[in-house]
A and B are shown apart, each in its own frame.
Chain A
Amino acid sequence: MNAVLELTDVRKSFQLGFIPKTKEILKGISFSVAEGEIFGYLGPNGAGKTTTIKCALGLIFPDSGTIRLFGRPHLDPKAKERLGFLPENPYFYDYLTATEFLDFYAQLFKVPRDVRRERIPRLLKLVGMERAASLPLRKFSRGMLQRVGLAQALINEPALVILDEPLGGLDPLGRKEIRDIILGLRDEGKTVVFTSHILQDIEMICDHVAIIVGGRILSQGRLSDLVSEKVLFTEITVSGLLPAEAAPFGESVSAEGGRLLLKVHDQDKIEALLALIRDRRARIHSLVPRTQTLEDIFVEMVKPK
């Protein structure tokens, strides 16, 4: 697989404050994104996700390290021609209508007029904004801006799409729609990099993940390698059992309204508990085996040592 985006030991510090104090934001970031994958860049707020993205896009200049886009230096306009970008909290020219806005960016990519005429309505439809085509962006809600912003990122049919917090500001339905669009992009053979601090989003659609904390990448790899399939414990909700009766089998998490939530660790104990439930004619309301999630890994890493 070819690396579409490759960062090697990227460092960046800023001079902050009235009496300038150097603060190192990126402390040697290295990762590479292979063609055709969805790459999740995960980290808590202030970890350096957006700074990394801005370095890759040439918005800020790293102090040291190299960044290559499609095998070229990242500032090369030739490389940027195949790139699409949606910034975090998108701010756009609010005096333009959605169609004018997309037309402006399409022209920057030198997309011919007849192609623009076909592509703009198609993209507006893809992001569900076709009815707002001639409305000025000033009247858009945050979620709507996010959607036209995504259309803008796809205006040049890019091979690599970088999305900074693309699901922020969207309602649950909107999140699902955008997730589906991202998956659709992968099916078209495009590479997608997106940042998030919301684990479920990344877990649901990413192939590869890098976790950044405090300006350092703490872990990266295939999602399936990072998250083990091993069952950590099983959560069982029952009614008709006394807390004291259930106590030997596992830890009682809550007991309200006659329902008991138990956390059981051993497979043998689960069997024994089920036998007891059958015996007492008690009722099982739910039985959920919990595997390790990205969240567990994330919490483990972010926790101050």
Chain B
Amino acid sequence: MTIRVIALNTFREAVRDRILYLLLFFAALSIGLSRVLALLTVGDRLKIIKDVGLASISFFGALMAILIGTGLVYKEIEKRTIFTLISKPIRRSEFILGKFFGLVLTLLVMTGAMALIFLALLFAHTRSIDWSIPAALLFIMLELILLTAVAILFSSFSTPILSSLFSLSFYLIGHFSWSLETLIRKMRPGLGRTAVRVLYTALPDLENFNYKTEVVHGLPVPAAAWLTAPAYAICYTAFVLALAVLVFRRRDFI
């Protein structure tokens, strides 16, 4: 109940923030650009539209999660609104979870809006609806949920600029850590390989949520992904949120 109230207020805060609409505008522009790029391409134009469109949604969704998420907790402390809030009968964990769910709700609405623009563009091009697109969007949303938790974790102890940098690094590392897996396969067994394996386990692998290629090329999404990707998202998110609560629980608000 308390979490719901804080989440709805967070949602209200986010949708009344102009930065959200600025990002949405650029996302729409970028999705629209895919149509222009398609004109310049030799070959399958539809693939370009799908590829650039999905990449735009993923990228601008991540930007929204990072730019808004990193400010959420920090702003409460900086603007001292947290004084009034914590004096109410709420637990600090409820505060963090409320912020998290509020931002997830915002991203859900925003991803929905971007998806609508994208689907409308596709429909205008093909006059038919491609039902594999929502699948790709679902995986993008899972990634955004994890990213939100990360942004909130950094925001609970650091300034928005630093938190944004940390979260962005998390995003980039997450998309390149799969190369470690390739490295593991090529290394000889021994201490080095174990070390790389430990590193790979600890680092996020956001490619677990990337099924854009499959969707663009009309390949089937592996059946196991429907289970492993949500499980990975839930576990990692829960772990990051637990860390955020731990950081936040004993903090003094001076």
**Chain A residues proximal to chain B, CB less than 8 Å:** 14, 54, 57-61, 77-78, 80-81, 83, 85, 87, 89-93, 95-96, 100, 104-105, 107-110, 149, 152, 162
Given A104-B9, A152-B84, residue A80 in contact with residue B89 (CB < 8 A) = yes
- A108 pairs with B5, CB closer than 8 A: yes
Interface centre among B5, B16, B84 (most CB of A within 10 A): B84
For A92, the chain B residues whose CB sits under 8 A away are 81, 84
CB of A93 within 8 A of CB of B13, answer yes
Report B-chain residues with C-beta under 8 Å of the C-beta of A152. Answer: 84
Is B252 an interface residue when CB atoms closer than 8 A count as contact?
Answer: yes
| Nearest B-chain residue to A16, judged by Cβ | B254
The verdict on B2 contacting chain A, using a C-beta distance below 8 Å, is: yes
Q: Write out, one digit per residue, whether chain B residues 51-85 have a CB within 8 A of any chain A CB (1) or not (0).
A: 00000000000000000000000000001111111
- Residues A58 and B87 in contact, CB atoms below 8 Å apart: yes
Q: Say yes or no: A59 contacts B252, CB within 8 Å.
A: yes
Task: State in angstroms the CA–CA spacing of A210 and B241 once bound together.
Answer: 42
Listed from nearest, the 5 A-B pairs whose CB atoms lie closest are A77-B89, A60-B252, A85-B87, A80-B89, A57-B87
- Assess whether B83 is in contact with A59, with CB atoms less than 8 Å apart: yes
Distance of A149 Cα from B2 Cα, bound (Å): 21
Task: Specify which chain A residues have a CB less than 8 angstroms from the CB of B16 in the assembled complex.
Answer: 95
6 contacts between A and B (CB under 8 A): A91-B81, A91-B83, A95-B17, A104-B5, A104-B9, A108-B88
A299 to B172, CA, bound (A): 61
Given contacts A78-B89, A87-B87, A108-B5, 10 further A-B contacts (CB under 8 A): A54-B253, A57-B86, A59-B252, A60-B252, A61-B250, A89-B80, A91-B80, A95-B12, A108-B85, A109-B89
Query: With A14-B254, A93-B9, A95-B12 given, is the CB distance from A87 to B91 under 8 Å?
Result: no
> Closest approach, in angstroms, between the C-beta of B73 and any C-beta of chain A?
14
A286 to B117, CA, bound (A): 81
Name the interface residues of B3-22: CB closer than 8 Å to any CB of A. Answer: 5-6, 9, 12-13, 16-17
Q: B254 touching A60 by the CB < 8 A rule? A: yes
Q: How far is the CB of B109 from chain A (nearest CB, A)?
A: 17
From known contacts A77-B89, A78-B89, A110-B1, infer whether A60 and B253 are also in contact, taking CB-CB under 8 Å.
yes
Q: Which of B82, B87, B250, B253 contacts A83 (CB 8 A)?
A: B87
Which residues from chain A contact B250 at a C-beta distance below 8 Å?
A: 61
Answer yes or no: B116 CB below 8 A from chain A CBs: no
The interface residues of chain A lying within 8 Å CB-to-CB of B83 are 54, 57, 59, 85, 87, 91
Q: Which of A91, A105, A108 contacts B79 (CB 8 A)?
A: A91
Q: Which of B2, B13, B80 makes the CB contact (< 8 A) with A87?
A: B80
A89 and B84 alpha carbons, distance in the complex (Å):
11
